[in-house]
């Protein structure tokens, strides 16, 4: 587990845009949300497309389906039982993913727009597709 931040570190970090204080730590403003389709833009899984299963704003990370697969070797818990090898997804930093349009098959940044009825919605900048 990560070491807790000192009050002076929290004060300095909250001066940056998009970061605010939350309980005993920080919470990052994330434009990617649970259920969004994203494309990995860097790292070992570059180019993979998947859905965001969960977002972790306190860690600035997301869990993407089929990306960053890790393997766990489990020891047997009882006598006579055999050990197992499990694979599952691990979180990746949100800066390594980009919103993806399935219709136009292109990755894009996210912007915000006010609709005619006064709602603020997320929009893909390249295509103009509304996400919310």
CA pair distance 13, 10, nearest whole angstrom: 5
The answer to the question of residue 37 being in a domain is yes
Q: Which comes out higher in pLDDT, residue 50 or 14?
A: 50
Instruction: Dump pLDDT digits (tens) for 68-102.
Output: 999 999 999 999 999 999 999 999 999 999 999 99
Residue 130 lies in a domain: no
- Model confidence at 5, pLDDT cuts 50, 70, 90, reads confident
Show Cβ contacts of residue 127 under 8 Å, excluding neighbours closer than 6 positions: 101, 103, 104, 106, 108
Over range 47-68, report the average pLDDT: 94
Check residues 16 and 117 and name the one with the higher pLDDT: 117
Please count the other Cβ atoms lying within 10 Å of the Cβ belonging to residue 58. 13
How many structural domains are present in the chain?
1
Q: What are the Cα distances from residue 95, in Å, to 30, 39, 59?
A: 10, 11, 12
Using the predicted structure, report yes or no on whether residue 23 has a pLDDT greater than 80: no
Q: Which residues form the domain of 44?
A: 16-107
Task: Tell me what the mean pLDDT of segment 29-51 comes to.
Answer: 95
Q: Assess if residue 3 is contained within a domain.
A: no
User: CATH number of the domain that 39 lies in?
Assistant: 2.30.30.30
Contact 124, 110 (CB under 8 A): yes
Query: Does some domain include residue 42?
Result: yes
In this structure, is residue 119 part of a structural domain? no
Do the domain assignments include residue 81?
A: yes
Residue 88 forms part of a structural domain: yes
Q: Which two tokens stand for residue 44?
A: 């070992």
With respect to residue 80, please indicate whether it lies within any of the assigned structural domains. yes
């Amino acid at each position: 587990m990560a070491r807790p931040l000192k009050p002076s570190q929290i004060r300095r970090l909250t001066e940056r845009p998009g970061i605010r204080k939350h309980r005993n730590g920080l919470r990052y403003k994330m434009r990617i949300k649970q259920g969004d389709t994203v494309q990995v833009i860097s790292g070992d899984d570059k180019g993979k497309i998947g859905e965001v299963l969960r977002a972790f704003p306190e860690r600035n990370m997301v869990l993407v389906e089929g990306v960053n697969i890790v393997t766990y070797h489990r020891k047997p818990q009882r006598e006579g039982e055999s050990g197992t090898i499990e694979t599952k997804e691990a979180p990746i930093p949100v800066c390594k993913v980009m919103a993806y349009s399935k219709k136009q098959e292109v990755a894009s940044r996210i912007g915000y727009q006010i609709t005619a009825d006064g709602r603020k919605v997320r929009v893909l900048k390249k295509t103009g597709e509304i996400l919310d």
